[in-house]
Amino acid sequence: MKTQNFSAGDSDKQALFESIFDTASDAIVCVDGFQNIAMFNRQAEQLFGYRAEEVIGQPLACLLPKHTRGRHELHVLSFAQEKTERRLMGSRAELSALRKDGSEFPVEISIAKVKLSEERTLFTAIVRDVTERKLAEQALQKAHEELEIRVEQRTADLKAANEELRTFAYIVSHDLRAPLVNLKGFSGELRFSLDELQSLLLSCELPEDIRKQVVSLLEADIPESLNYIELAATRMDQLINAILKLSRLGHQKLIIQTIDLNKAVDEALTALAHQIDLGGIEVHCETLPPLRADLTVVGSIIDNLLSNAIKYSDPARKNLIKIYATHHEKGTTIHVQDQGRGIAEDDKSKVFQIFRRAGTQDVPGEGMGLSYVQAMLRRHGGTIDFVSVLGQGSTFSFSIPDDLEEREPR
Amino acid sequence: MSPVNQTLSLLLVEDDPGHARLIEKNLRRAGIFNPIQIMTHGQEIVDYLQQYKKLSHQNQIAQPILILLDLNLPVVSGYQVLELIKTDPMLRTIPIIVLTTTDDPREIEKCYELGCNVYVTKPVDYTDFIDAIQKLGLFLHVVQLPSTGRK
């Protein structure tokens, strides 16, 4: 400590010192070389519950809980031998002090030694009650632990709910299939019976007007009804298969490897070549970077996005589909940009919903693709997003994180 | 085509009467004229097999049987029936053809693990369904069956 040179007398210095000593906001206790209390400020009186005159001359031990006394003496002895002049105690280790009423409280103490002469050393201890801080720390620690438990609980709940949903989808789809076998089967049987009936009736001699009616029934009305039944069953079967496909997603193991995106895109384009020709669509693909991901999943995503871009092209104009990639700190994003019909503002929220299909319903499809894509990406730790302007086109962009090998498949 | 062993009885364990009827019709179309006994739940076949074992015990000749088994059965499931038969030394040689709507690879694997002899999926599409049952019929014409019912 540096002190300014006061031009004041010794009595002034003494008054100044006493004022500082007593108004300090921390408790200050001075101990002589024999571990007896030499000075005790006002804060110390408040903190320990003793008046100064009660403790001055008493051993320091009266301010320490019995179980820490030995330890404390060792501290002081080692500190007395050290060359360092000050030391903070209790900042890490648990240190406690004893009040007059016998209660203990946690403290943090910074001690300093002052060598008055060869034989006399005075120790100054600034004592701070850290009860509140310790309580706050404990509360924080407890809150942390509780939070962790809650997160674990929630995660377990979510996992269970997810599994339940998957099982539900799985069971429902299988149970729904069984009646379809009957619908289709007995429609087929009716067709067989119809054929037999037809040959039987037509070999009979019938009056012309009745014959006409019979032919109309056998060749138009009944087959029409059967057609509708079969179509509905087929459609239902497609929907069920789509749900099944989604429910099975969670069970497939992902194989993360470095894949050639260009090859994946080429394969998708080859498979879609017919539709591309038919729609007079031009496809422009930039050279894409290698990607660490599951090949089947990425191939299927590219397939879905490209076939959507083709399906929803605008027949009224020339369509260009662009495929390109961007790289950013979190991973790689692949964009499929089209100049198709685009998605109306109101329909944007439905894009990833299962079985929802936005806009004019003139293209066959089960409305399954994008919800499937999103579910696949989610398992991959990836995301999908899009921007779209009605009448101008859409860009669908999916991102795959770079650190996939460290990720547990979900 | 040589007729299938005339004494062979087909046990069709199927809870959906529509399915049972369609299977029967198409087996007949495929030239299978053996008796077909339809059971609508798992317990029925379990009881039947107890009786079957008793006959074998008394050294009476029980009719050879082949089981066509659906998986989604009430009371006792197809898996349980499969396990019960394949872990019983007296019954394990009875051929079991699982005939079900499930085409999940894991379910198929599970059935073979439990000892099913053939797994056939019932397609929803009726043309495919007829095709599957006809092929099953052809298979029944050529398959060699173990001599059962004798000790």
Interface membership of A285 toward B (CB under 8 Å): no
pLDDT (mean) for A240-251: 75
Contact status, residue A215 vs residue A197, Cβ threshold 8 Å: no
- What pLDDT, on the 0 to 100 scale, is given for residue B24? 93
Question: Is the Cβ pair B104, A248 closer than 8 Å?
Answer: yes
Give pLDDT tens digits for A84-121.
767 776 555 568 889 999 899 888 888 888 877 777 78
DSSP-derived letter for residue A20 is H
A307 CA to chain B: closest CA distance, Å?
26
CB contact B143 to A (< 8 Å): no
Q: Which residues contact A317 (CB under 8 A, 6 or more apart)?
A: A339
ipTM: 0.81
pLDDT above 90 covers a percentage of chain B that reads 30
DSSP assignment letter at A218: I
In whole angstroms, give the CA distance from residue A256 to residue A268.
20
**Average per-residue pLDDT for chain A:** 83
* Largest Cα–Cα separation, chain B: 46
Looking at residue A300, its pLDDT comes to: 85
Nearest CA in chain B to A238: B124
Q: Identify the burial level of A334 via C-beta atoms within 10 angstroms of its C-beta, where 0-12 means exposed, 13-18 middle and 19 or more buried.
A: buried
Strands A331-337 and A291-294: unpaired
The residue behind tokens 């009716």 is A190
Residues of B with Cβ-Cβ distance to A185 under 8 angstroms: 18-19, 22, 126, 129
Kindly report the pTM of this predicted structure: 0.58
Chain A residues close to B126, C-beta within 8 Å: 184-185, 187-188
Interface test with B, best of A176, A184, A196, A234 (most B CBs within 10 A): A184
Residues in chain B within 8 Å Cβ distance of A192 = none
Residues of chain B short of pLDDT 70, as ranges, are 1-6, 61-62, 147-151
Q: Which of A181, A187, A244 sits opposite B122 (nearest CB)?
A: A181
Task: Name the residue among A186, A237, A248 with its Cβ closest to that of B124.
Answer: A237
Any B CB within 8 A of A248 CB: yes
CA A116 from chain center: how many Å?
63
List all residues 6 or more positions away from A157 whose beta carbon is below 8 Å from its beta carbon.
none
Chain A environment of B106 (Cβ under 8 Å): 251
Backbone angles phi, psi at A401, to 5 degrees: -70, 155
pLDDT at A360 (0 to 100): 55
Contact A181 B22 (CB under 8 A): yes
Give the model's pLDDT for residue A407: 47
Least confident of A68-82, A122-136, A310-324, A338-352: A68-82
A230-238 LR contacts (CB < 8 Å, sep 24+):
A230/A183, A230/A184, A230/A187, A232/A183, A233/A180, A233/A183, A233/A184, A233/A187, A233/B124, A234/A184, A234/B125, A236/A176, A236/A180, A237/A177, A237/A180, A237/B124, A237/B125, A238/A366
Q: What is the mean pLDDT of residues A207-233?
A: 90
CB < 8 Å to A178, chain B: 16, 19, 72, 101
- Minimum CA–CA partner of A236 in chain B: B124
Q: Categorize the per-residue pLDDT at A374 as very low, low, confident or very high, splitting at 50, 70 and 90.
A: confident
Helix (H, G, I), strand (E, B) or coil at A267: helix
Q: Answer whether B125 sits within 8 Å of A184, measured CB to CB.
A: yes
- In terms of Cβ atoms closer than 10 Å to its own Cβ (0-12, 13-18, 19+), residue A390 is middle
Q: Quick one: pLDDT at residue B38?
A: 94
* Paired tokens of A197: 């009936």
Percent of chain A with pLDDT over 90: 18
Residue B150, pLDDT score = 43
What is the percentage of chain A residues whose pLDDT exceeds 70?
90
Compute the distance between CA of residue B13 and CA of residue B67 in angstroms, rounded to an integer.
Answer: 7
Write out chain B residues lying below 8 Å of A186, CB-based: 18, 22
Which of chain B's residues have a Cβ under 8 Å away from the Cβ of A175?
72
